[in-house]
Amino acid sequence: MKLAFWKKKKDPNKPKKPIWREWLDAAVFAIVAATIIRMFFIEAYTIPTGSMEGTLKVNDYLFVSKMAYGARLPNTPLSVPLVHNTMPIFGGKSYSEAVKWGYHRLPGFGKVKRNDIVVFNFPNNDTVVLEDPAQDYYQYVRVQGREQVWNTKTIITRPVDKKENYIKRCVGIPGDKVEIKEGVLYINDKIADLHPHQRIDYLVGGTAQLSADFMEENFIVFKGYTQNKEAVYDMEYSAVDKVKKVAGVTDVKPFSLIPAGNPGPVDYWTFPFDTANFKWNQDNYGSMIVPAKGTTVQLNPQNIALYRRIIRVYENNPGFVEKDNQFFMDGKAITAYTFKMDYYWMMGDNRHGSADSRFWGFVPEDHIVGKASFVWLSYGNGDGNVYNSKGMRWGRIFRTVGNLEN
């Protein structure tokens, strides 16, 4: 028996599409396909700052996997395709808030794991200084005062999915105990994993002065001397053992910019910005527990600074009120709170050059965008950044982030 395959015959009388129509159809298809890929599968991202040096370098172009943790449906579905939050050239919002959706995430390959390099929406970017949109509005207010900021800057607000994208390493997952002692990170009372390209300032004891060639070869930067005439160098963890072998070096240890128990000047204050109850700084921080969904915390005037923003903003409880050292939810007194979402603690590998969770707190699960996957282009920007070489970095192109970490 023969099978008949029917083919629709072309109508010879049907007018042929003009060239412009064919190009328009192709463009619409390409935009729709690219939007679907960007929303549900992968998205391109560029490293704009040195906060992840030297694991990820400025002008590393990488792809971020949305499938790793499950694609997040947009909060603002009415938006210009392939544009994040601001219209190119003309400026202005690229989205409308006429329609708003709640938080929903499709199934993924897994959850955020400790040490994953994660792209997420900057939590503090709900309120934005338009002249400097990637920076922290709340830091502006702490340093300059609210009245000064509002009188001299343009202030806007943004939904979760239109906040600026940040990239950091997840060092603390829900339920982890996080603490930093003298620049050393501890997770659950154990020294956290040390990554080869992780950077921090080190105090180098002894009489040796590292040569310019040695420093260039090992991406080391001389920072200056302490009051005790000890040399301070910014270097990767992988360079520490090499420095220890230099003749005349007696010791190499992390250097704290601010001593323990001193929060430092206001522009150095760390989360939760309550210097009466939390005398923490970026090198001497905690300890505290990263909130986990379903866990309950007892509230008191001494710890409320840690959880205030979670309760009121991230978990959308505008009825949460503090009065006379008591707490009320929609008019009813409460003494405890149960978290509705998981939270994460993010830090940059360049520990003295990163605005991370130490300076703005927890990252809610609904802010997670995806996992850094691989670098598809990398070049030095030639702007004087001591960590970056000029020209193409051929050794980084088409390498996974996991390989670049080693």
Could you tell me the domains of the chain?
A: 199-254 (3.30.70.80)
> What per-residue confidence (pLDDT) applies to 257?
87
Can you give the pLDDT at residue 5? 45
Please give the single-letter amino acid code of residue 293: K
- Cα separation, 144 vs 266, whole angstroms: 10
Q: How confident is the model at residue 381 (pLDDT cuts 50, 70, 90)?
A: low
Contact 284, 260 (CB under 8 A): yes
pTM assigned to the model = 0.92
DSSP designation for 142? H
- Cα separations in angstroms, 32 against 25, 29, 295, 368: 11, 5, 41, 23
DSSP, collapsed to helix, strand or coil, labels residue 267 as: helix
Nearest to 202 by CA among 189, 215, 187, 186: 215
pLDDT at 1: 46
As a whole number, the mean pLDDT across the chain is 92
Enclosing H/E stretch for 216: helix 212-217
- Residues with Cβ < 8 Å from 5, sequence gap 6 or more? none
7 band by pLDDT with thresholds 50, 70 and 90? low
- pLDDT score recorded for residue 17: 75
Q: Is the pLDDT of residue 74 over 60?
A: yes
* pLDDT tens digits for range 275-312: 999 999 999 999 999 999 999 999 999 999 999 999 99
